[in-house]
Amino acid sequence: MVSRRLVPSCLLALVLGCRPTASDLPAVAPEQPSAQGVEPIESVREPFTGAAWVRRHYAKREVRIPMRDGVTLFTAIYTPLDRTGEAPILIERTPYAADPYGEDQFPSRLGPSDALMERGWIFVEQDVRGCFMSEGEFVNMRPHLEDKQAGQIDESTDAFDTIEWLLANVEGHNGRVGMVGTSYPGFYAAAGMIDAHPALRAVSPQAPIADWYFDDFHHHGAFFLPHSFNFFAVFGRKHEGLKKEWGERFDHGTPDGYEFFLRVGSLANLEARYLHGEVPFWTEATAHPDYDRFWQARNLLPHLRNVAPAVMTVGGWFDAEDLYGPLQIYRAIEAQDPEAWNVLVMGPWSHGGWHRTEGDHLGSVDFEGEHSRFFQEEIETTFFVHELEGDAGGHPDLPEAYVFETGANRWRRFEQWPPAGSPRTLWMGAGGRLVDAAPTERKAYDEYVSDPAKPVPYTEAVVTGMTKEYMSDDQRFASRRPDVLSWVGEPLTEALTVAGPITAELWVSTSQRDADWVVKLVDVFPDDAPDHRFLPEGKHMGGYQMMVRSEVIRGRYREGYDAPEPFTPGQPTRVRLPLQDVLHTFEPGHRVMIQVQSTWFPLVDRNPQKWVDNIFAAKDEDFVKATHRVYRDGGHGSRVQVTVLPPSPQ
């Protein structure tokens, strides 16, 4: 998870043990004089040149804002020097460091984009409770408290108290406040809009964490290994007092994460060899493999009811870290606060790519345009300017859902998400064929041997972490493995547009008592598909197997994430796996493919397949081979359910 500033890792921001003991800033800093009689920044715009530009146009002061329980939070306030009239306040609350520290130090950018920064608003950066230069105790995904008593705090109250102080102590504001944040800061933005301060008019949670069990840590109970460990091993370590810098990266001793994590063996060895009990949240999380009260308390979704401001939730179709969050936060607000003005934006981006990349490609996939600039200038700026700069009334000309259609590479406007369409079932048939008709065979299945000692890699790249490109990578390396099953349809004679959620319903069996199941929806390009300028050397689009959507479930959780249940060896068993939404067009000449496998390493930790109560505590000898079957007969038809949109004019 990343913010707009450079963070040493784009993994989980799980900072623990930040318990400051003293303050080196005043609780209230003196207000700096504001410039008078100067035109707004947008009318004297000069080329943006980074920190030097910010220094010429903004004054900075650092304060400690007191919360209702007496804890003070470090806050950097940037006020425009060249502004006439009053300006909105835009806040980002972050566990990633509100740096650079020092009133003579300036960041290379304020706010989420140049387009907003150059409007001359007041920008506020705040270290959340217990992180970096803020006092208090940091709690990962701090649970939201309903019916709070006097003095009780959560992230909603900290946001409220921050806004209250800013309105009373910062000159030149217009009484309107916005909040924005990407990834972990997106969670703080979402939490801040619950029981919101009356001045909070617009909030944009971007790639927000919503429910940590289903977002970053576990996907349907399967543990995303390097994504979690690589960050915890550095930033989760305990420390005393305030701090201004991150720790050093973890040294794997090799560039090959597949080999590193394979040599480690069981997850228990990571703790014994590298963490030594020094990362409290890792210890706590691995003691809770099931979706119990520990994780349920870290689910923000049920609390998104009294959402006062306008909301624009933003996500990327290829966000390897937080795809679940934006879709589910949008849905929760729609269901629980139908009167809220609630907009969803989904584009062709990796994690935070709308502010960090041009949005023109991801790995080998070309999106045919600079879509990040379009988002920043035509969507994000439109949203915030309308809500924060004046009293235009109503809402800006934005649809309920502004969504990028991959494959066709165009933006589309919808008045609801998901859009209405027709259900279609993709059945897994004989001979590796994907068919439209339900199977009628009496007994039929495909099988493979899953060996934890030789797991299927999740990428061809030699890396120690989770690549952002894996979400759209060519899957030919996987489909050629004997422990990956593939079913592919005939070349399409007309475009096929799939929209909204996808559900896989597998009938499976295993020779052991546990197994993971990975399902991928893949777009197979024609053999004569032309190459393009973004292709790395040695890559070609002819026959490219583009992963459109993928997901994994730990089979023990097929009947409930809080109630693990072993398989009966050899018995056909139904496993239902929801995949995240898509808006993707399979163009004429392309083919639709479904892949199924049981290892996805090291992206997902290895399932021992032998039954153990807690996989985090498994021993090396618990990992065993198993024969898995995927059934495709009349009584046990495996399938993937999608929604298809009618043809739309280009």
Residues 436 and 400 in one domain: no
Beta strands in 274-429 (DSSP E): 310-316, 342-347, 361-362, 365-366, 401-405, 410-414, 422-428
Residues 392 and 462 in one domain: no
Residues 394 and 470 in one domain: no
* Least confident among 71-75, 208-212, 215-219, 559-563: 215-219
> Does residue 255 fall inside a structural domain?
no
Range of the domain at 29: 18-212+298-414
Residues 429 and 355 in one domain: no
Greater model confidence, 212 or 127: 127
Helix (H) or strand (E) holding 198: none
> Does residue 502 fall inside a structural domain?
yes
Helix (H, G, I), strand (E, B) or coil at 223: strand
CATH code of the domain in which 583 resides: 2.60.120.260
> Does residue 304 fall inside a structural domain?
yes
Query: Given this model, what pLDDT does residue 370 score?
Result: 95
Residues 409 and 428 in one domain: no
Question: Does pLDDT of 344 surpass 50?
Answer: yes
| 372-379 mean pLDDT | 96
Hey, what are 567's tokens? 């398989």
Question: Does pLDDT of 322 surpass 80?
Answer: yes
Amino acid at 44: V
Query: Given this model, what pLDDT does residue 6 score?
Result: 35
Alpha-helix runs per DSSP H in 271-417? 280-286, 293-296, 324-336, 353-356, 371-374, 381-389
How remote is the C-alpha of 261 from its chain's centroid?
Answer: 23
Hey, what are 553's tokens? 């479930």
> Does residue 263 fall inside a structural domain?
no
Going from the C-alpha of 314 to that of each of 12, 204, 319, 489, the distances in angstroms are 18, 7, 11, 33
> Does residue 311 fall inside a structural domain?
yes
> Does residue 230 fall inside a structural domain?
no
Question: Does pLDDT of 416 surpass 90?
Answer: yes
> Does residue 240 fall inside a structural domain?
no
Indicate the pLDDT class of residue 397, thresholds 50, 70 and 90: confident
Residue 359 contacts residue 367 (beta carbons within 8 Å): yes
> Does residue 223 fall inside a structural domain?
no
Residues 388 and 476 in one domain: no
Residues 428 and 393 in one domain: no
Mean pLDDT (the chain, rounded): 91
173-190 pLDDT per residue, tens: 999 999 999 999 999 999
Residues 39 and 159 in one domain: yes
Residues 131 and 191 in one domain: yes
User: Domain tally for the chain?
Assistant: 2
**CB burial string 620-644: b at 16+ within 10 A, e below:** eebbeebebbbbbbeebbbbbbbbe
Question: Does pLDDT of 207 surpass 80?
Answer: yes
Greater model confidence, 538 or 607: 607
Nearest to 324 by CA among 217, 402, 400, 467: 217
CA distance 444 to 428: 11
Q: Domain boundary at 389, 414, 439, which?
A: 414
Question: Does pLDDT of 7 surpass 60?
Answer: no
3-state secondary structure 520-540: EEEEECCCCCCCCCCCCCCCC
CA distance 340 to 42: 31
CATH code of the domain in which 337 resides: 3.40.50.1820
Residues 139 and 166 in one domain: yes
Question: Within 10 Å of residue 325's Cβ, how many Cβ atoms?
Answer: 30
Query: Given this model, what pLDDT does residue 40 score?
Result: 36
CA distance 427 to 594: 9
Helix (H) or strand (E) holding 234: helix 225-235
208-237 pLDDT per residue, tens: 999 989 988 899 999 999 999 998 888 778
Residue 640 contacts residue 488 (beta carbons within 8 Å): no
Backbone angles phi, psi at 66, to 5 degrees: -75, 135
Indicate the pLDDT class of residue 387, thresholds 50, 70 and 90: very high
Q: Domain boundary at 398, 414, 430, which?
A: 414
Residues 405 and 455 in one domain: no
Greater model confidence, 497 or 34: 497
Query: Given this model, what pLDDT does residue 69 score?
Result: 96
Q: Domain boundary at 397, 414, 431, which?
A: 414
Question: Within 10 Å of residue 50's Cβ, how many Cβ atoms?
Answer: 11
Residues 496 and 641 in one domain: yes
| 189-215 mean pLDDT | 96
Helix (H, G, I), strand (E, B) or coil at 75: strand
Residue 116 contacts residue 375 (beta carbons within 8 Å): no
Question: Does pLDDT of 9 surpass 60?
Answer: no
Highest mean pLDDT among 26-35, 300-309, 496-505, 641-650: 496-505
